[in-house]
Structure formats: C-alpha cells, structure tokens
Structure 1
Amino acid sequence: MKTIWITGGSSGMGKAMALKFKQEGWNVAISGRNAERLDEAMAELNTIDTGQALAVQHDVRDYDGCKQALERIIDSYGPVHALVNNAAGNFVCPTLDLTPNGWTSVIDIVLNGTFNCTHALGKHWEAEQIRDGSIINMVASYAWQAGASVAPSATAKAGVLNLTRTLAVEWGYQFGARINAISPGPIERTGGADKLAVHVKEVERIRRNVPLGRFCTPEEIADLAFWMTSDEMRYLNGECISLDGGHWLNKHPF
C-alpha cells in the first residue's frame, strides 16, 4: 500500500486531496500548523474505510520539524511514495506597502517550505533506494505572469515552479522520480478565491473572467492530483498543468 504526505492537508484543496487518495486505498498523512483543523480533517478521513490516515502538526518553515514529521509518517506506514506541497500563505497588498516581515513570511512558507519537505523526502528516497516516487507542487499562473499586489506569493510560486522543473531533471535521473506541478485557478470553498474577492470586491467579475463561467472545486483539483500520481502517468515529469477553466489565458483575469 502506498503512502502520500500532503502538507496543508487540513482544509480546502489539501483536505480534498487527502480524502481522494484515502478513498483510492492509499495511506494518507496530512500535516499543518493548526491542531484543531487537523483533528476536524481526521474526523472526515476516518469515515472512509479504505487506507489509513495520520495527522502531524508541524511548520513547513522549520526544516528539522519537516524531517521529524516525515520520520513519524515512516514509523507509521513505512516508505513514503508521494508528496503534495500544498501548504501556502498569501495576502493582498501593494508592493510598496509590504513590510520585510510580510515578504519573508510568504516566501518562507511557500518557497522554503516546499524545499524543506521536498528535500527531506529526497533524503528518504536516497537512503531507502526508493524509485518511482512522485511530488506535486501547487503553484499559480502568476508564477509565469505578473502577480500585482501579491508579489511575495508570485515570486515564491515562480521559485517553486523552477524547483519543480529542476528536480524533474535531477531526480528523474537519480530516483526515477516524477516532479510535477498543478496551477489551480480560483477555487470554491477554500477561502482562496473568495478571500481575494473580499479585498477587491469583485467576486462575480472574477467568475465571469473564467471562460467556463465558474470557479474550480477542491474535488476537481484532487482528481487531477490523483491522476498525475497514478501509474497511468508514469511518463509525466516536469510539467505544470493548469486547472482553471482557461482563466490564465484571459487577458483581463481580474
């Protein structure tokens, strides 16, 4: 039985992915900083008979904490075959109004947090000679476009996208691993798109600027993540798949 580690797995897309993988018979480990949210997510996961579930409280910004989280997962289930770097932080702020702390906090969670968990898992794969592993990194279309008023997140996601492609080459050779990314568009029910809309007060205009006329659901992201990790996609490596209804192609997305 395979095991997957999903950071930021207590809510939104992370929880939807955890539910999907457990339904498909995987052992699922979710991690995050908020113990109460982890407990709530575990209550949902435990309603599914297939697979097993584990919650680990830690901060992705702390490399030692990431290693300890991984060790706990390994102690529970053995080798870890897959990782979704879903933990994120973001806020809307004009760049001139940013504080150094605001900049650093997002970079630390999104870019450094992704590296910390990825590096810890890579060391595990190296020590145990594990091949055919899979990592999915969550990015956004402003990783390759402009991210006005979300400069820290845009910068961090651009770094994550480059890390995805770099490790697809390095670890493809070294471990036969597949390192890919998903770029979601505006998402329903996660606080992401709706939270942004609270700031810009244009949620319906954002929705209209999605060519398919609606926001994506967390479950649709979960379905894509499972497909990308599946044996059917053994040759998918170094790719970023946008699941956004064509939103990023629109010249006036907001």
Structure 2
Amino acid sequence: MSGIYRADLLAGKNAFLAGATSGINLAIARRFAELGAKVFIISRSQDKIDAAVAALGGDAAGQVADVRDYEAVENAVAACEAAHGPIDIVVSGAAGNFLAPAAELSSKGFRTVIDIDLVGSFNVLRAAYPHLRRPGAAALTISALQSFMPARQQVHACAAKAGIDQMMRCLALEWGPQGIRVNSIAPGPIGDTEGMARLTPTPEAQERLTATIPLRRYGESSDIADLAVYLCSEAGRNVTGALMVSDGGQTVGGSAIEMGQ
C-alpha cells in the first residue's frame, strides 16, 4: 500500500473503472481498493475480470462490457450503482494501440483505435453520468503524451487522445456546476506494466527514450495510481478540466515522441 495516503482515504467511496483488468488501470483499481473504495470493473473478457476481482479482493466486483457497446456499459454502470449506491469515481482507461505509419494504416485500423479510446471514453462517462453523486463525484480519463505531442506511427492514437482531452474539458465545463470534476492523466513511459514500454521493447530503444527524460527514469504504475487518488479524492476538490502529465519531464524538451524499435 502507498504510504503517502491515509489508509481509509477512500472509505465508503464507490468506484467504477473501465479497462481495469491489467496495466495502469488495474494499478489504479488496486490503489483505490487499498484505500477503502468499493471497486467495480468492466472488461471484454470474463476470465480477466475474474482474475482482477480475485486480486483486488474485498468488495470488488465486475461485469463483461465492451466500451464500444454503449448499452453494455450502461447496464454495467447500473449494476455498480445497484451494488454500492451512487458512483463517486468513474475512470475510463480502456485503450487500443499499435505502431503503423500513416501511409500504411487502414481506415479500419484508424477507426478501431478511435472507437476504443475516444468513443469508448465518451460511452463510459456518458453512461455513468446519471449515476454520479452530486456534488462530489470525480471522473477521470486516461490520456497519453500523444494527446499534445506528435508521434511517428501514431496518428490514430494521437487523434484519439487529443479528442479525449478536449472532450474532458467540455464535460468539466458542463458538469462542473453540479459539483462533478472531470480530469485526464497523461502517463509517460511506464516500466512495470503495459503501455509505452510495450511499444519500445528493445533495450536500445528504451535506452534512447530514457535519455530524453529529465528525471532519467521510466515511471511506475504506482505513480499514476497515486496521481489518480489525488484527483479523485478531496485533495483534488478544486481541480477540474485539467490534463495532468506524469512523464518524468519528458515533454519539457518539446520534441516529437520517438517510438521506433
């Protein structure tokens, strides 16, 4: 358990998370559960849900739902509220990505990433909206550095993440008067889970990438989980419409993201 937060910080909170059966999003779900939240997760795979729920323990539960299927997400959100009451925290983190030069990327491939990342994030937040506690609920999307930095072989991901962050700002504007906060987190390279590290697998590529990071370290999934706790707890009660970057300073240089093998 992270020692920087009080052990019962999220006690009594009801959290709904999409894409939380692996990687960064599972780390966030785990941290929420450790701090006392009741966690409900969705994924396309029942086996992955079962494994994640078993690992989370406590009051954790889950249901199969593809974020691209609005009705399935809507049903899962309703099940979450039925189990634990109004939703205090919703996290949309389901994502799809792969490397592909724009000139070789098919329309289907481009649309797949847009549908999972951008449309999926809208579906999760929109379906959760009627069930959010007012005032006090917090919504969080998981973005990426590609939201605001160009990246070779990532036109699909860049477009999707930029759309997610602008959507987040619009929702923060519209939902703020009801006491609902909406923010995004953009992780940099993560060394202990899926994500950027998976897209730069060779030691040479990782060495080149690390050299571009001022802190000279890959992040850890716990860094993102702790930032998520801040944004979704009372500590972040005055923060909304914000894109919070956790990248060790990688974007300070302002150059294009290099993701070659």
Quick check: TM above 0.5?
yes
Displacement after TM superposition at 1:213 (Å): 1.0
Displacement after TM superposition at 1:201 (Å): 5.8
1:53 has 2:34 as partner? no
What is the match of residue 185 of structure 2?
182
| Equivalent-residue separation in structure 2 for 1:87 and 1:222 (angstroms) | 15
| Equivalent-residue separation in structure 2 for 1:199 and 1:106 (angstroms) | 24
Counterpart contact for 2:24–2:194, Cα < 8 Å: no
What is the match of residue 228 of structure 2?
225
What is the match of residue 141 of structure 1?
145
Change (3 A) 1:203 1:21: same
RMSD: 1.6
Any idea what the Cα deviations from partners look like across 1:192-244, whole Å, max 9, x if unmatched?
Answer: 12221138961221122111111111111001100111112111011111000
Change (3 A) 1:171 1:8: same
1:131 has 2:135 as partner? yes
Displacement after TM superposition at 1:249 (Å): 1.7
What is the match of residue 72 of structure 1?
79
Displacement after TM superposition at 1:190 (Å): 2.0
What is the match of residue 37 of structure 2?
26
| Equivalent-residue separation in structure 2 for 1:55 and 1:246 (angstroms) | 35
Counterpart contact for 1:131–1:177, Cα < 8 Å: yes
1:155 has 2:159 as partner? yes
What is the match of residue 16 of structure 2?
5
Quick check: 186-195 or 115-124, which moved more? 186-195
Q: Residue type of the partner of 1:191?
A: E
Displacement after TM superposition at 1:245 (Å): 0.2
What is the match of residue 208 of structure 1?
211
Change (3 A) 1:110 1:22: same
Any idea what the Cα deviations from partners look like across 1:90-134, whole Å, max 9, x if unmatched?
Answer: 111000111111011100000000000111111334xxx732210
The equivalent position to 1:244 in structure 2, one of 240, 247, 250, is: 247
| Equivalent-residue separation in structure 2 for 1:17 and 1:195 (angstroms) | 19
Any idea what the Cα deviations from partners look like across 1:11-45, whole Å, max 9, x if unmatched?
Answer: 11111111111111110111111222222212211
Displacement after TM superposition at 1:148 (Å): 2.2
Change (3 A) 1:199 1:104: farther
Displacement after TM superposition at 1:145 (Å): 2.1
Counterpart contact for 2:78–2:131, Cα < 8 Å: no
What is the match of residue 3 of structure 2?
none
Displacement after TM superposition at 1:251 (Å): 4.0
What is the match of residue 123 of structure 2?
116
What is the match of residue 101 of structure 1?
108
What is the match of residue 89 of structure 2?
82
Aligned-pair identity in percent equals 33
| Equivalent-residue separation in structure 1 for 2:201 and 2:127 (angstroms) | 37
Q: Residue type of the partner of 2:26?
A: K
Structure 1, gaps ≥5 residues long: none
Counterpart contact for 1:9–1:87, Cα < 8 Å: yes
Structure 2, gaps ≥5 residues long: 1-11
Counterpart contact for 1:92–1:199, Cα < 8 Å: no
Quick check: 204-213 or 188-197, which moved more? 188-197
The equivalent position to 2:28 in structure 1, one of 14, 17, 25, is: 17
Quick check: 37-46 or 244-253, which moved more? 244-253
| Equivalent-residue separation in structure 1 for 2:42 and 2:189 (angstroms) | 23
Aligned residues: 246
Q: In structure 2, the residue corresponding to 1:212 is in which secondary structure?
A: coil
Counterpart contact for 1:136–1:180, Cα < 8 Å: yes
